[in-house]
Structure 1
Amino acid sequence: MPTLPPEPAPRSALASHQHRQTAESFGSNAERYDRARPRYPQALVDRIVAAGPGPDVLDVGCGTGIVARQFEAVGSRVLGVDVDARMADLARRRGLDVEVASFEAWDPAGRKFDAVVSGQTWHWVDPVAGAAKAARTLRPGGLLALFWNAGQPVPEVAEAFAEVYRRAMPDSLAARQWTVSAADGYAALCAKAADGIREVGAFADPEQWRFDWEQAYTRDEWLDQLPTQGAFTRLPRAGLEEVLSGVGAAIDAAGGSFTMRYATLAVTARRTDSP
């Protein structure tokens, strides 16, 4: 049977999981984050629950509890772990049990789970150390499920938004957003996560799932969500106001609303050997 490697040291300084300032910036307005961020397809939640051997779920990078509440709604018992005390505090006020730590440093204290899930977060976790920690906390047959929402508006709206970003933030990642499909960009995160899972050697070969769906946004709804995105959480106030003004004008020009086409991409793997 494969054995778990020791906790690996962090990798390249360029790896996303080492960009802690960005990773820890989302709690700057936890209430807005909880209110505005999109949820996940019910079909994804149902499939994860059906694939796990029981109801105990660990939510890695739980934030304000968006994912956790979706799992609790179908009868799961959820423990959250998040690095940001501000996000964790709001999640607790929503009724979730949360422990504050980075997942790599978190101590499971002998507790075991039927599923370890992570929504829109695993790219902030070392892919090998995270998979090894998940393997230590999963019961045999338990499921590791990592997933991201990849959103892309229709081309004319995407180009109007991109023009705002190029003008206000010319050297930013946002200015290059949607030059390739969002799903292709997130597929790279899925591939990196799958490689980390394989390296640990305690899981069956990872599977990839995809769920396509759409959500309509009014001008106010999108401007509420925009500051919660990583490209904007650390933007100076004047720069953010310029972006919001430009994006708002673009939505007005599109008729006051637009449709975001989402692909929720998931990497899943089943724990194969006894911890």
Structure 2
Amino acid sequence: MPTLPWESAEPSLPRLHGARRMAESFGSDAHRYDQARPGYPDALVARIVAGSPGPDVLDVGCGTGIAARQFEAASCSVLGVEPDARMAEFARTRGLRVEVATFEVWQSAGRMFDAVVAAQAWHWVDQAVGAVKAAQVLRPGGRLAIFGHVYEPPSEVAEPFAAAFRRAAPDSPFSSQPARRPLSVYQEGYARFADQVHATGLFELPEQWRFDWELTYTRDQWLDLLPTTGGLTQLPSDRTADILQAVGEAIDRLGGHFTMQYTTLATTALRAANDTRSEFAPGTSNGSHAW
């Protein structure tokens, strides 16, 4: 399943606007989103916390607070920034402090943080603004951590989904994508994040982290998650129903369940003690791309 909406590292303005509309469509069923979407590896959260100078965390695009609650459980104090008021309100019902704004226009009012995290959300942020703004609100030595899941169902599930989606939404940008995409496509996306972060000159050399894990889904669990994904959140209910029927029948043929192989990728970097921006021109490729 795609975690990055556009192949281009620098999408055009129309694509940016389209991406923004999609980003703000997830709140149409915030409860389902929160219940169906998986959390993040505990080892990832622990590594971010251990590698940050303190407990104050800013969660960019916090959604319903899935990642934020994990950081709170790890004894962090978390503030969320979320553009969708519906998602923000749901997160507040779970006890999270949230301010409604896009990260690009959000005002820190002098507040500083030990970590800025973005869980499955950084690809919605204007890349020319995001890393610089993160550096501005990070204490020296603070950590920027951009992470998200790669989840490609087995071909027995992915192929029927792709065929049904093409029938239901032939004009969608997702319709032209293959049923399954290799991990390298996503790794390239996170490598671009590293380049963009490092090119600011405000961070130390970015690192790439990888966590592999798996999760078994029943038919009902997977059909509950699918409508929360970017390709389906904007479809009419009848078209979504046709897709879910095709996928449900495919899972039935597998015995009613399947195991998803997940990979969680992260690009992370520490805020430099000194501003080294002059050393790097925008677009240079100095980031660490080792996985």
Q: Same fold (TM over 0.5)?
A: yes
| 1:205 CA drift (Å) | 1.5
- AA aligned opposite 2:188: A
1:31 and 2:31 aligned: yes
| 1:200 CA drift (Å) | 1.5
The answer to whether the Cα contact below 8 Å between 2:157 and 2:247 also exists between their aligned partners in 1 is: no
- AA aligned opposite 1:95: G
TM-score scaled by length of structure 1: 0.91
The answer to whether the Cα contact below 8 Å between 2:60 and 2:82 also exists between their aligned partners in 1 is: yes
Structure 2 stretches lacking a partner, 5+ long: 1-9, 276-291
Hey, what's the Cα distance between the residues in 2 that align with 1:210 and 1:72?
A: 22
- AA aligned opposite 2:206: P
1:73 and 2:73 aligned: yes
Structure 1 stretches lacking a partner, 5+ long: 1-9
1:102 and 2:98 aligned: no
CA RMSD, Structure 1 to Structure 2 (Å):
1.8
Hey, what's the Cα distance between the residues in 2 that align with 1:235 and 1:36?
A: 18
Hey, what's the Cα distance between the residues in 1 that align with 2:141 and 2:60?
A: 19
Q: Cα gap change, 1:208/1:273 in structure 2, threshold over 3 Å: closer, same or farther?
A: same
- AA aligned opposite 1:99: E
1:48 and 2:44 aligned: no
Find the counterpart in structure 2 of residue 7 from structure 1: none
Q: Give deviations 1:214-247, integer Å, cap 9, x for gaps.
A: 0110011011111100000000111111011111
| 1:254 CA drift (Å) | 1.1
Number of aligned pairs?
A: 265
- AA aligned opposite 2:204: A
The answer to whether the Cα contact below 8 Å between 1:17 and 1:126 also exists between their aligned partners in 2 is: no
The answer to whether the Cα contact below 8 Å between 2:30 and 2:64 also exists between their aligned partners in 1 is: yes
- AA aligned opposite 1:25: S
| 1:196 CA drift (Å) | 1.8
Q: Cα gap change, 1:18/1:128 in structure 2, threshold over 3 Å: closer, same or farther?
A: farther
Segment drifting more, 261-270 vs 157-166: 157-166
Q: Give deviations 1:44-98, integer Å, cap 9, x for gaps.
A: 0011001100100000000000000000011011000000000000000100000
Q: Cα gap change, 1:101/1:258 in structure 2, threshold over 3 Å: closer, same or farther?
A: same
Find the counterpart in structure 2 of residue 200 from structure 1: 200
Q: Cα gap change, 1:184/1:11 in structure 2, threshold over 3 Å: closer, same or farther?
A: closer
TM-score scaled by length of structure 2: 0.86
Hey, what's the Cα distance between the residues in 1 that align with 2:11 and 2:172?
A: 24
The answer to whether the Cα contact below 8 Å between 2:190 and 2:265 also exists between their aligned partners in 1 is: yes
Find the counterpart in structure 2 of residue 13 from structure 1: 13
Q: Cα gap change, 1:58/1:207 in structure 2, threshold over 3 Å: closer, same or farther?
A: same
Hey, what's the Cα distance between the residues in 1 that align with 2:201 and 2:58?
A: 20
Q: Give deviations 1:90-120, integer Å, cap 9, x for gaps.
A: 0001000000000000000110000000010
Identity %: 58
Find the counterpart in structure 2 of residue 146 from structure 1: 146
Find the counterpart in structure 1 of residue 256 from structure 2: 256
The answer to whether the Cα contact below 8 Å between 1:174 and 1:231 also exists between their aligned partners in 2 is: yes
1:114 and 2:114 aligned: yes
| 1:165 CA drift (Å) | 2.4
Find the counterpart in structure 2 of residue 211 from structure 1: 211
